[in-house]
Copies of this chain bind each other. A is one copy, B any other.
Amino acid sequence: MRKMIIASTSSVYGSDYLAYLLPEISLLFKDADTVLFIPYARPSGISYDEYTRIVKNAFAKISKKVIGIHQFDNQKEALENAKAIFTGGGNTFELVNQLYKNDILALLKKVLENGTPYLGTSAGGNICGVSMMTTNDMPIVYPPSFYTLGCLPFNINAHFIDPLPNSTHMGETRETRIKEFHVFNDTPVLGLREGSWLRVIGNVIKLEGNFTAKWFQPTRIPIEIESGSEFDS
């Protein structure tokens, strides 16, 4: 049975890395001493080792060890043996690129479907959707495909943000971008605000956190979903 937390962001403003989620992560990863960390999104381009150190420091607060998947000669074995998996944020293009290059995307999906507890924040949450086509990230590398895990029957837009009032900037709003996505694609999109997350238990997907989320479907007016609402998968 699937057990996942898919969060819009690793950190909320003014708070330490992962701090707002640690009580939830403690429960999700309660049967694991060690967390397998996937550092491939490399926020700000930091190295795998640097990124893993940041994650180690955060998980030390809930007495969990952390090992980066890049430290294993056999990444497939590492995934199969993991008792808990965390994919952190950064650049979704590079994350997806490395998942394909290391040929671990399909296996990651399999172990998640089989019940290995999973935490994904930002880019690590984006990859749980049907595709990465609703990422906000810059296409700094060319991955072999935009298709991702498909653990959710919809796409995530992480760090969802409403238009800024009184903005004079002419770049597209987030909502405009998602509407453009729906000209070419049918997959619904959930705009997850920072501080919101999804809890997936088996086939039940529940919106958690203090905010509503914005639900986009092709040719329909987007609607706000209340925290506590459930989606079927």
Answer whether A12 and B177 are a contact pair too, CB < 8 Å, given A140-B184, A184-B140: no
Judge whether B91 and A180 touch: CB under 8 Å.
yes
Bound Cα distance from A72 to B93, whole angstroms: 35
Judge whether B44 and A136 touch: CB under 8 Å.
no
Counting chain A residues whose Cβ lies within 8 A of the other chain, the interface size class is 35 or more
- A162-207 contacts to B (CB < 8 Å): 164, 168-172, 176-185, 194
The dominant DSSP class at the A interface is loop
Q: Does A52 contact B (CB under 8 A)?
A: no
Judge whether A183 and B45 touch: CB under 8 Å.
yes
Q: Which of A91, A134, A140 has the most CB of B within 10 A?
A: A140
Q: Does A3 contact B (CB under 8 A)?
A: no
Judge whether B134 and A180 touch: CB under 8 Å.
no
Which among B132, B140, B179 is the interface contact of A181 at CB below 8 angstroms? B140
The stretch of A63-71, A74-82, A104-112, A141-149 in contact with B is: A141-149
Q: Which residues of B contact A42 (CB under 8 A)?
A: 180, 183
